[in-house]
Structure 1
Amino acid sequence: MRTVLLTGFEPFESEPVNPSWEAVRALDGERFGSAPGDPDGPDAAIVVARQLPCVFGAANDAMADLLDALRPVLVIAVGQAGGRPEMSVERVAINVDDARIADNAGAQPVDVRIAEDGPAAYFASLPIKAIVRDMRAAGVPASVSQTAGTFVCNHVFYGLMHLLATQGVPAGVRGGFIHIPYLPEQAARHPGQPSLALATMIDGIRRAVATALATTTDICEQGGQTH
Structure 2
Amino acid sequence: MKVLVTGFDPFGGEKVNPAFEAVKMLPDKIAGAEIIKLEIPTVFSKSGPAVAAGIEEYQPDIVINVGQAGGHSCVTIERVAINLAEARIPDNNGEQPSGEPLQAEGEPAYFATIPVKAIVKNIRDHKIPCHVSYTAGTYVCNAVMYQVLHMTAEKYPNIRAGFVHVPYAAEQVVDKPNGTPFMSLEQIAECLRYAIEASVKNLVDIEGIIGESH
Higher mean Cα deviation, 155-164 or 133-142?
133-142
Structure 1 partner of 2:169: 183
Alignment match, 1:31: 29
Match of 2:4 in 1: 5
Match of 1:111 among 99, 123, 142: 99
Q: What is residue 221 of structure 1 aligned with on the other side? A: 208
TM-score norm. by structure 2 comes to 0.97
> Which amino acid in 1 is paired with 2:9?
E
- Give CA deviations for 1:135-157 in whole Å, capped at 9, x if unaligned: 01112210000000000000000
Q: Supply the AA of the counterpart residue of 1:159.
A: Q
**1:181 Cα deviation (Å)?**
0.2
Task: State the AA in 2 paired with 1:52.
Answer: I
1:110 maps to a residue whose letter is S
Tell me the C-alpha RMSD between the 2 structures: 1.0
Aligned partner of 2:72: which letter?
R
What is the rounded CA distance, in whole Å, between the counterparts of 2:54 and 2:105 in structure 1? 22
Q: How many residues align?
A: 213
- Give identity over the alignment, percent: 41
Tell whether the 8 Å contact from 1:77 to 1:177 is kept in structure 2 after alignment: yes
Amino acid at match of 2:203: T
Identify unmatched segments of 5+ residues in structure 2: none
Q: CA deviation at 1:123?
A: 0.1
Q: TM-score if structure 1 supplies the norm length?
A: 0.91
Partners in 1 of 2:134 and 2:174 — Cα distance?
A: 27
Give the Cα separation in 2 of the matches to 1:189 and 1:101. 21
Letter in 2 for 1:17: V
**Within the alignment, does 1:132 sit opposite 2:120 as a pair?**
yes
Q: Deviations over 1:92-133 (max 9, x none)?
A: 000000000000011100001001111000000011011001
Aligned partners of 1:150 and 1:32: how far apart in 2? 31
Question: Comparing 194-203 with 181-190, which one deviates more in the overlay?
Answer: 181-190
1:217 deviation in Å? 2.0
1:199 aligns with 2:186: yes
3-state SS in 2 of match to 1:47? strand
Contact kept, 8 Å, 2:30 with 2:193, in 1: the verdict is: no
Q: 2:111 aligns with which of 123, 132, 153?
A: 123
1:53 aligns with 2:52: no
Tell whether the 8 Å contact from 1:97 to 1:112 is kept in structure 2 after alignment. Answer: yes
Tell me what 2:19 maps to: 20
Computing the radius of gyration from Cα coordinates, the structure with the larger value is: 1
Task: Indicate conservation of the 8 Å contact 1:140/1:201, yes or no.
Answer: no
For 1:223, the aligned partner's letter is I
* 1:148-168 deviation per Cα after TM superposition (whole angstroms, max 9, x unaligned): 00000000000000010112x
Pick one of 80, 89, 96 that aligns with 1:101.
Answer: 89
Moved over 2 A (4+): none
1:32 Cα deviation from its structure 2 partner: 2.7
Q: CA deviation at 1:172?
A: 2.2
Q: Which residue identity does 2:102 align to in structure 1?
A: I
2:8, 2:39 within 8 Å by CA — same for their partners in 1?
Answer: yes
Report what 1:80 is aligned to.
68
Assess if the C-alpha contact under 8 Å between 2:19 and 2:66 holds in 1.
Answer: yes
CA distance in 1, matches of 2:51, 2:33: 19
What's the secondary structure of 1:69's corresponding residue? helix
